[in-house]
Amino acid sequence: MAIKIKIPGMIKGLGITFGTMVRTLTKGSHTVQYPHVKEAPTPRARGVIALHEENCTSCMLCARECPDWCIYIEGHKYKAPPRRPGGKPRKKNALDRFDIDYSLCMYCGICVDVCPFEALFWTPEYEYSELKISNLLHDKNQLGKWMETVPEFEDYEKGSEAKKAQVPE
Choose one: 9-17, 135-143, 144-152; the region binding another protein (CB under 8 A). 9-17
Choose one: 16-24, 133-141, 143-151; the region binding another protein (CB under 8 A). 16-24
- Using CA atoms, how far apart are residues 61 and 44, in angstroms rounded to an integer? 22
Q: Up-side HSE of residue 28: CA atoms within 13 Å toward CB?
A: 4
Closest by CA to 118, choosing from 160, 169, 67, 71, is 169
Residue 142 as a binder of another protein (CB under 8 A): the answer is no
Q: Which of residues 41-70 bind another protein (CB under 8 A)?
A: 41-46, 57-60, 63-67, 69-70
- Using CA atoms, how far apart are residues 160 and 163, in angstroms rounded to an integer? 8
- Could you tell me the smallest distance in angstroms from the CB atom of residue 102 to another protein? 15
Residue 38 as a binder of another protein (CB under 8 A): the answer is no
Tell me the torsion sign for CA atoms 78, 82, 87, 93. Answer: negative
* Residue nearer to another protein on the CB measure, 72 or 167: 72
- Using CA atoms, how far apart are residues 155 and 23, in angstroms rounded to an integer? 35
| Residues binding another protein (CB under 8 A) | 1-3, 8-10, 12-18, 20-21, 23-25, 29-31, 33, 41-46, 57-60, 63-67, 69-79, 90-93, 106-110, 113, 122, 154-162
